[in-house]
Amino acid sequence: MLEELVGESTSVNLNGKVVELPVVTGSEGEKGLDVSQLRKESGYITLDPAYGNTGACESSICFIDGEKGILRYWGIPIEQLAEKSSFIETTYLLLYGKLPSQQELTQLSQRISKNLTIPDLVKKLYSNFSDETHPMALLSAVVSALSGYDKKQSSLEQSEVDIDETSIRLIGQFPAIAAAIYRKKIGKEFIEPDPKATYTENLVRMMFGETDLEKQITPEAIEALDMLLILHADHEQNCSTSAVQLVGSSRTNLYASIAAGIAALWGPWHGGANQDVMVMLQKIKDSGGDVQKYVEIAKDKNSKVRLSGFGHRVYKTFDPRAKVIKSVCDKVLEKMGVNNPLLEIAKELEQTALQDEYFIQRKLYPNVDFYSGIIYKAIGIPTDMFTVMFAMGRLPGWIAHWKEMLTSKPSRIGRPRQIYVGPTKTDYTPVDQRS
């Protein structure tokens, strides 16, 4: 793969030593300098804190053009998938690199359906956690613990078939895990899935059961939830996917690798922003709805407050996912008969920030998390479960990248270097001689 893509090279002069660096060109014309031999040839490493300018791999799964606001899974624009696909079909696309035939789609749905529950012992695990435990902590713990229920996980080198089976099992188990987390929180028993229902219908069923809430959930809401799962399904080398790959590169099993991704996603600067946005909007509402005042606080570096759901490492224009979500938000709320004043505050906040020089200069736009919470809330999903929903959507993307990492050449353990800036050699001083 690498040889095929290398068409040119460039040279750098490092203190008189000229080093040739191959130029790698991607299928969309992106260019990268291959520095993998740089240290061997010159003694230099590259330094790029937070990896803002570092490509960690070549990948065929997801393409983003942050300047133009483009996102595609295996070449297919996210807008088309959001409108025409289902989450299970998109899962097939991410895992196998093509859209499925009808038969392949049916087979995948059946395989996933067979796994739509979790071992009883895992359910018992929940009762040992405090009610205060955040759902993302539970999710990460339970996913990691599931490795103990999959014998194939103990083998060091899994076959492709085994990896596929484990992947499908985990995708099937995820709604059950999420529902069990929610039901533990509200002190209710676990509800078994309906084998005839779709993945997303079962998620709602297992969370809410036959309560009034379930009756209120319209087909449009289920459709919107499925669409949110599609929009979250992949996003190339983000913080959590990189965590999954880095952890997996040490040949940790899939469950533990995904648990690491869940932990990374939880943070408020990543997937946890969807929860934070709702907290922020509520705060603005409770303090009288002064949007401008909040924007001023977010601009003030001393406040340590950021506008949640705004800004992105890659997008320097509108996040295409945010555009799709915003466009369906009104429709879903209307169909569900929900009037959420937070939506009006979100719209005003967006307009205020977009016209503000601070946000214009830094190219800060709404990201996927800005409007997603409004839809989750309308469906009745509690705020602290939002990031769990995000994780469910991201799962096929994490798995696809984990598999790609394991099969890529060279497949080595992930291990960045550093520039050491600590003390030079210093002799040990016994404690009684220290000043």
The CB-of-75 to ligand ACO minimum distance in angstroms stands at 22
By C-alpha distance, which of 315, 165, 182, 324 is closest to 238?
315
Compute the Cα dihedral for 292, 285, 217, 113 and give only its sign.
positive
Of 238 and 249, which CB lies nearer to ligand ACO in the complex structure? 238
Tokens of 122: 């895992």
DSSP-assigned beta bridge partners for residue 63 = 72
What residue number has its CB nearest to ligand ACO?
311
Of 311 and 380, which CB lies nearer to ligand ACO in the complex structure? 311
* C-alpha to C-alpha distance for 228 and 251, rounded to whole angstroms: 31
The CB-of-69 to ligand ACO minimum distance in angstroms stands at 14
Residues 6+ apart with CB under 8 A from 271: 240, 265, 369, 387, 390, 391, 394
Tokens of 255: 């469950």
Of 126 and 390, which CB lies nearer to ligand ACO in the complex structure? 390
- From 310, 376, 398, 402, residue interacting with ligand ACO (rule: CB under 6 A): 310
Of 172 and 397, which CB lies nearer to ligand ACO in the complex structure? 397
Regarding 225 and contact with ligand ACO (CB under 6 A), the answer is no
Would you call the peptide bond into 430 cis, given omega within 30 degrees of 0 as the criterion? no
The CB-of-65 to ligand ACO minimum distance in angstroms stands at 16
Of 191 and 325, which CB lies nearer to ligand ACO in the complex structure? 325
Regarding 234 and contact with ligand ACO (CB under 6 A), the answer is no
Of 100 and 271, which CB lies nearer to ligand ACO in the complex structure? 271
- From 203, 254, 284, 307, residue interacting with ligand ACO (rule: CB under 6 A): 307
**Burial 114-146, CB ≥16 within 10 A → b, else e:** ebbbbeeebbebbeebeeeebbbbbbbbbbbbb
Regarding 244 and contact with ligand ACO (CB under 6 A), the answer is no
Residues labelled as active-site residues:
312, 369
**Burial 247-269, CB ≥16 within 10 A → b, else e:** bbbeebbbbbbbbbbbbbbbebe
Number of residues that bind ligand ACO (CB under 6 A): 18
- From 313, 316, 335, 347, residue interacting with ligand ACO (rule: CB under 6 A): 313
Regarding 316 and contact with ligand ACO (CB under 6 A), the answer is no
Of 174 and 315, which CB lies nearer to ligand ACO in the complex structure? 315
Q: Give the pairing type, strands 6-14 and 76-77.
A: unpaired
Residue span binding ligand ACO (CB under 6 A) among the ranges 103-111, 180-188, 254-262, 303-311:
303-311
Regarding 85 and contact with ligand ACO (CB under 6 A), the answer is no
Of 208 and 310, which CB lies nearer to ligand ACO in the complex structure? 310
Residues 2-61 that bind ligand ACO (CB under 6 A): none
Residues 335-364 that bind ligand ACO (CB under 6 A): 362, 364
Regarding 369 and contact with ligand ACO (CB under 6 A), the answer is yes
Of 206 and 246, which CB lies nearer to ligand ACO in the complex structure? 246
Write the Ramachandran bin of 97: left for phi over 0, alpha for psi from -120 to 50, otherwise beta.
left
Q: Nearest 10 degrees: CA dihedral of 234, 235, 237, 239?
A: -90
First to last CA, the chain: 59
- From 367, 372, 391, 397, residue interacting with ligand ACO (rule: CB under 6 A): 367
Regarding 116 and contact with ligand ACO (CB under 6 A), the answer is no
The CB-of-193 to ligand ACO minimum distance in angstroms stands at 28
The CB-of-119 to ligand ACO minimum distance in angstroms stands at 31
Regarding 397 and contact with ligand ACO (CB under 6 A), the answer is no
Regarding 309 and contact with ligand ACO (CB under 6 A), the answer is yes
Regarding 320 and contact with ligand ACO (CB under 6 A), the answer is no
By C-alpha distance, which of 144, 181, 149, 179 is closest to 165?
149
Regarding 311 and contact with ligand ACO (CB under 6 A), the answer is yes
How many residues are recorded in the chain?
435
Q: Which runs of E-coded beta strand occur in 26-117?
A: 31-33, 62-65, 70-73, 76-77
At position 73, the amino acid (one-letter code) is Y
The CB-of-92 to ligand ACO minimum distance in angstroms stands at 23
Residue that has been written with the tokens 């190339």 in this structure: 236
Tokens of 126: 């929940």
Residue that has been written with the tokens 């803002």 in this structure: 52
Binding string, residues 263-302; x marks residues near ligand ACO by CB under 6 A: ------xxx-x------------------------x----
From residue 143, alpha-carbon distances to 136, 149, 262, 388, 434 in Å are 10, 10, 9, 12, 48
Binding site for ligand ACO (CB under 6 A): 269-271, 273, 298, 306-313, 362, 364, 367-369
